[in-house]
Every structure is written in structure tokens, then in C-alpha cells.
């Protein structure tokens, strides 16, 4: 029996007035929705694609204080991000895990090593309230014991410190959406904002188009906040008639290779001394990132050959025996950085990860419209809290945020490893292997119990989607019924980790599309369209071998 896929979703907005409309369903927009809904505001969020499908899903997947910002003497930014790191480790233990970072040094002088040592002590000091260990120092022999694949020649030793990793950043974004919905927010994916509704010089709502059905509608609110990241300039053209050009867009890419490291290893590119990482991620070596200005199509961002070769050139020097011929796939995204200028009017060369909150009443005399510019994954919750503080001030409300105190929906696991052990007997009764249970907990956290409820009612849902993967059929129903999954790509790329397997879930895609077709009532033509759309997504991760920098708008 097909589940209603809500082709008339816009009807739920009729005769509704909201306190706040959020444009953009990336992690910042999702965080704003959660924070505002937790404060009791009437919230609606609109995302033109899927939640977390843009920059949020294309990051280095780290939750960190930004050790390199100490060199810029930006202690405030580092301290704030370290505070956010601790909050996320606490409210989302199933998604955000501690990760050790090793900084090897080769042929470095005493001054460099002393500077690094001071930086490590500063990092420890700025994270005085941390749950993670302090840094450690290792000699050459100890360093090679930690990372045997490192080049031994010229190695003098290393330091090791701790930060966090969010392996499935897409799920972090989605859980903020789910938390907002649980507090009454209406959150729509595949719903494009095509314009604003204005009365005189005040924005009072937005015009909408359902990108799946083509239906059009509108929603009204006391305030609208624009959180679309690198799409800001383009959307401003629609909203206020011109772009403010507050955003500097830079592209970052990563690639996956066979595993080579035990810890995240911090490296510096040979050509320009830029920091990048080799990270253990889902059984791969996750290598990145680059940082190049980008002026191309934001909806078709891809890695090109020069991007990958830039990273390969340096990583081969440090890990000469590793397999760098095998690249499973690439990942590319665009950051929205605050465009800043120096006192002389020239653009700063150092790229800032700070954010800015724009009140368009002050800048363009347009009331009722705010915009968030810049920021990074680690800081999303704090940015959201700051934005909602301003929203409540404008609305004349005095209600304190509590997004740093409330667990995310799957966060009631405590220690995930202990949780897994207590869960396994019940999982075994449903026929799930230890590997499957571990996987489900890594994706859904404590919400895995909701998956088990589905298995109680229909044991056949414990069958694998395809024998090559740990995913089970219950996840498809769960994604549609409870996680706003409306397309095959939604499911493969952002509801599960199938997209991140070596073949990117290709063997499971056909079975998943048939099941989703039954659940969502797709026609044969629509199912085939969904399969083609997912195949296109996969091709973009493989095209780097044939793309030049010019062909992707670098």
C-alpha cells in the first residue's frame, strides 16, 4: 500500500501565520528551526532540494576548534568553536565522536617545533572545559608505531591532539529538522522560495514552488531569515532585486581512497603550505580539502583533475607506499565565506570562517528580512542561537534558547558502544547481525528503537535491501514515514550511508527505487526518472578524471 507522498503539501500552509520563516535547510537553517521551535515560536522552513544536500554534506566532516586559527591569533573564534564541539559531543553522541589528530613534522627547525608546542598548550587551555584528553608528544619511533605508513625519512616526531568527527553530517542536519518538527515546526524539502511578499518596504512572507509537483503557493510570517549559504547572492536577486555580494564562494573537494591511517593526520601541501587532512572515515582514507574561488553553477559542483592532483601531489610524499591509484569517488562543495576588505579596500587574502548576521532593515531599509552569511559546520548551533536571539528581540519576546541542553532525537544512547551491547539481544531476535545493529545505531542512534517497532509489526522488513550492505527494508519505510524522504537520492545519500559504500550503493539502488515507488506511489516513468537522477549524482563524483578546472567554473 502506498504511503501518501503529499503532492498537495502546500495546503498545510493555508490560513497559517508564522513567527519565522527560514529559507534554506542546510545545517544552519535546520539549527535555526530547532532553536526557534524549542523557544515556542511558530516556524516554517523551506529547502529547494533536500535537507543537508548542499554545503552541509560536502564538508571535511570535522567538529573542531580550528587549531590553525591560533596562528591568526583568533582566540575568540577558537574558544567558541571548542565550546560548540563539547556541546555537540554531548547532545549527539551517536553522530559526533572523538577523533585523534596527529601532526607529524619533517625536517622542521626548533622555532617551528616550539611554535607548534605553544599552539598545543594554547589549544588545551582554550578548551579548559573539555571532555577530551590533552595533547601528547611522540618521537620518531613512537610516531611510526602510531602511523606505520608515514614516510620515515626526515621524520622528527609528532604531536597528537583530539577533536571530533561527524561521519554522517547529513544526519546531523536531518536530526535538527526532526527536532524542530517535534516542537511543531513545518519543514519542507523540495520546496523552492521563488520570491517574497512585501507590503511597502516590509517582507511579510514568501512565494513557493513545490519542485516535485510544480504546485505554487505562499506562506506568511512576521520575520523571514535567509540561511542559504553560498546561494545567498542569487536568492537576493529574487528577494530584494539585487545581490549584496556579501559572500565569497570557495570550492573544497575531498576524495576517498583505501584506508591508510589510524588517526586523522594533519599535513601541509607542498605547493602552497596549505593545511589538509588524511582522515579515517567509514573505512576509507578521506583526503581533503582544497580552497579555490568558485564562480560556477552551485547546483553542479564537481571536483576536477587539478583539484585531485593538488591533493595527491602532497599526500604521496608523506605516504609513499599507500594505494593512491584507487580513488573510489570525490566530493565537492562550496563554502559561503564572509567577504571582507582591509582598510585599504583590498580583499583580505586570509579566508575567514567567521559568520555575519545581516539585518536588511539597516542595510537596505527592507524590514522583516535577516540573512546569515558564513560560518562552519562546528559552529552551526551557536550561529543558530545567535540568529534566534535576534529574532526574538525583534519580535519583542524574552525567551532563552535551550538548543545546547536538549539532546538531538537519536542522542539518548549515552556511550554508543555500551548502548550497542545492551541492544544486541533484541536485535538478534529480529534476525539482525552485530554488523547490522552497529550500522543502524551509527545512523539512527537511539531512534533505532523506532526501527525495531516496525520490525515487530512486520518481520519481513528485517530483510536486507541488498545482501551487499547492512541496510534493511525497514529503513525505507522509516525514511518515508518519519524522515521526509521523497526521492531515491534523498534515501541513498542522506537518510542512509549507502552512497558512501565503495560502489556508492549501486547494487541497492534498483531495489530501493522499487520499494520507494510502492511507498510513494510513483509511476514507472517516475521510478525510472529517480534512478536516472541518482545515476547522475554518481557520475558527478567520478567525472574528475575528464574535467579541467575551466569546465567546472573553478
In a domain, residue 404? The reply is no
Domain match, 34 and 183 both: yes
Rounded CA separation 288/102 (Å): 15
Whichever domain contains 491, its CATH number is 1.10.8.870
Rounded CA separation 307/58 (Å): 15
Strand partners, 103: 159
The Cα diameter of the chain in Å comes to: 71
Instruction: Report pLDDT for 128.
Output: 86
- Cell numbers for 187: 519543514
- Going by pLDDT thresholds of 50, 70 and 90, the confidence category of residue 69 is confident
Domain match, 311 and 447 both: no
Q: What is the 3-state secondary structure (H, E, C) of 468-518?
A: CCCCECHHHHHHHHHCCCCCHHHHHHHHCCHHHCCCCCHHHHHHHHHHHHH
Instruction: Report pLDDT for 371.
Output: 93
Rounded CA separation 81/354 (Å): 10
Strand partners, 43: 20
- Going by pLDDT thresholds of 50, 70 and 90, the confidence category of residue 407 is very high
Structural domain tally of the chain? 3
In a domain, residue 449? The reply is yes
In a domain, residue 83? The reply is no
In a domain, residue 549? The reply is no
Instruction: Report pLDDT for 246.
Output: 80
Contact 278, 264 (CB under 8 A): yes
Q: What is the 3-state secondary structure (H, E, C) of 235-291?
A: HHHHHHCCCCCCEEEEEEEEEEECCCCCCEEEEECCCCCCEEEEEEECCEEEEECCC
Q: Which residue has the cell 581533503?
A: 288
pLDDT tens figures, 258-308: 999 999 999 998 888 889 999 999 999 999 999 899 888 888 899 999 999
With b meaning 16 or more CB within 10 Å and e meaning fewer, what string describes 493-526?
bbbbbbbbbeebbbebbeebbebbbebbebeeeb
Instruction: Report pLDDT for 551.
Output: 52
- Cell numbers for 234: 542569487
Domain match, 363 and 385 both: yes
Domain match, 476 and 535 both: yes
Domain match, 31 and 155 both: no
- Going by pLDDT thresholds of 50, 70 and 90, the confidence category of residue 88 is very high
Domain match, 444 and 537 both: yes
CA 392 to chain centre: 26
Domain match, 425 and 534 both: yes
CA 339 to chain centre: 22
Domain span at residue 33?
Answer: 9-56+170-245+353-394
Domain match, 499 and 515 both: yes
pLDDT tens figures, 447-483: 999 999 999 999 999 999 999 999 999 999 999 999 9
- Going by pLDDT thresholds of 50, 70 and 90, the confidence category of residue 101 is very high
- Going by pLDDT thresholds of 50, 70 and 90, the confidence category of residue 548 is low
Q: Is the pLDDT of residue 328 over 60?
A: yes
Rounded CA separation 54/253 (Å): 13
Q: Is the pLDDT of residue 86 over 60?
A: yes
Domain match, 255 and 278 both: yes
Q: Report phi then psi at 448, rounded to 5.
A: -60, -25
Contact 191, 208 (CB under 8 A): yes
Mean pLDDT of 179-199: 97
Domain match, 429 and 493 both: yes
pTM of the model: 0.94
Mean pLDDT of 26-34: 97
Domain match, 329 and 194 both: no
Whichever domain contains 121, its CATH number is 3.30.9.10
In a domain, residue 139? The reply is yes
Domain match, 330 and 302 both: yes
Whichever domain contains 214, its CATH number is 3.50.50.60
Whether residue 44 is preceded by a cis peptide bond, meaning omega within 30 degrees of 0, is no
Measure the CA angle with vertex 152, ends 146 and 157; round to 5°: 60
Q: Is the four-CA dihedral 274, 278, 279, 282 of positive or negative sign?
A: positive
Amino acid at each position: 500500500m502506498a504511503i501518501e507522498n503529499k503532492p498537495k503539501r502546500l495546503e498545510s500552509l493555508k490560513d497559517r501565520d508564522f513567527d519565522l520563516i527560514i529559507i534554506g535547510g542546510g545545517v544552519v537553517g535546520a539549527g535555526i528551526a530547532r532553536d526557534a521551535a524549542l523557544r515556542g515560536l511558530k516556524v516554517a522552513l523551506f529547502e529547494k532540494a533536500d535537507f543537508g544536500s548542499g554545503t552541509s554534506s560536502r564538508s571535511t566532516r570535522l567538529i573542531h576548534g580550528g587549531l590553525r586559527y591560533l596562528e591568526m591569533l583568533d582566540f575568540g573564534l577558537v574558544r567558541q568553536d571548542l565550546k560548540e564541539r563539547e556541546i555537540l559531543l554531548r547532545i549527539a553522541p551517536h553522530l559526533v565522536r572523538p577523533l585523534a589528530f596527529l601532526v607529524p613534522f619533517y625536517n622542521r627547525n626548533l622555532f617551528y617545533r616550539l611554535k607548534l608546542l605553544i599552539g598545543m598548550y594554547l589549544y588545551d587551555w582554550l578548551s579548559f572545559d573539555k571532555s577530551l584528553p590533552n595533547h601528547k608528544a611522540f618521537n620518531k619511533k613512537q610516531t611510526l608505531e602510531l602511523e606505520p605508513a608515514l614516510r620515515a625519512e626526515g621524520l622528527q616526531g609528532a604531536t597528537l591532539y583530539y577533536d571530533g568527527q561527524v561521519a554522517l553530517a547529513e544526519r546531523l542536519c536531518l536530526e535538527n529538522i526532526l527536532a524542530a518538527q517535534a516542537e511543531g515546526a513545518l519543514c519542507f524539502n523540495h520546496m523552492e522560495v521563488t520570491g517574497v511578499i512585501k507590503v511597502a518596504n516590509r517582507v511579510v512572507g514568501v512565494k513557493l514552488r513545490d519542485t516535485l509537483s510544480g504546485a505554487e503557493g505562499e506562506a506568511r510570517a512576521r520575520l523571514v531569515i535567509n540561511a542559504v549559504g553560498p546561494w545567498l547572492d542569487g536568492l537576493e536577486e529574487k528577494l530584494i532585486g539585487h545581490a549584496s555580494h556579501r559572500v565569497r564562494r570557495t570550492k573544497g573537494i575531498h576524495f576517498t581512497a583505501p584506508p591508510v591511517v589510524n588517526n586523522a593526520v594533519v599535513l601541509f601541501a607542498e605547493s602552497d603550505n596549505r593545511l589538509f587532512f588524511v582522515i579515517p572515515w567509514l573505512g576509507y582514507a578521506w583526503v581533503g580539502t582544497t580552497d579555490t574561488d568558485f564562480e560556477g553553477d552551485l547546483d553542479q559542483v564537481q571536483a576536477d583533475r587539478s583539484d585531485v592532483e593538488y591533493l595527491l601531489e602532497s599526500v604521496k610524499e608523506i605516504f609513499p607506499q599507500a594505494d593512491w591509484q584507487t580513488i573510489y569517488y570525490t566530493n565537492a562543495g562550496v563554502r559561503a565565506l564572509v567577504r571582507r576588505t582591509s582598510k585599504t579596500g583590498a580583499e583580505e587574502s586570509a579566508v575567514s570562517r567567521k559568520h555575519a548576521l545581516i539585518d536588511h532593515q539597516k542595510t537596505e531599509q527592507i524590514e522583516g528580512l535577516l540573512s546569515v552569511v558564513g560560518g562552519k559546520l562546528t559552529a552551526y548551533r551557536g550561529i543558530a542561537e545567535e540568529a534566534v536571539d535576534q529574532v526574538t528581540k525583534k519580535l519583542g519576546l524574552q525567551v532563552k534558547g535551550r538548543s545546547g541542553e536538549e539532546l538531538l532525537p537519536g542522542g539518548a544512547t549515552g556511550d554508543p558502544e555500551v548502548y550497542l551491547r545492551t541492544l544486541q539481544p533484541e536485535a538478534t531476535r529480529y534476525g539482525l547481525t552485530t554488523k547490522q545493529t552497529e550500522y543502524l545505531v551509527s545512523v539512527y542512534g537511539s531512534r533505532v528503537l523506532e526501527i525495531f517497532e516496525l520490525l515487530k509489526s512486520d518481520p519481513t522488513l528485517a530483510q536486507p535491501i541488498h545482501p551487499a550492505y547492512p541496510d534493511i527494508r525497514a529503513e525505507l519505510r522509516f525514511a518515508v514515514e518519519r524522515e521526509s524522504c521523497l526521492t531515491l537520492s534523498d534515501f541513498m545519500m542522506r537518510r542512509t550511508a549507502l552512497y558512501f559504500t565503495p560502489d556508492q550503493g549501486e547494487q541497492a539502488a534498483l531495489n530501493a527505487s522499487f520499494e520507494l515507488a510502492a511507498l510513494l506511489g510513483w509511476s514507472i516513468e517516475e521510478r525510472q526518472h529517480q534512478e536516472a537522477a541518482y545515476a547522475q549524482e554518481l557520475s558527478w563524483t567520478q567525472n574528475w578524471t575528464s574535467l579541467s578546472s575551466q569546465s567546472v567554473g573553478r
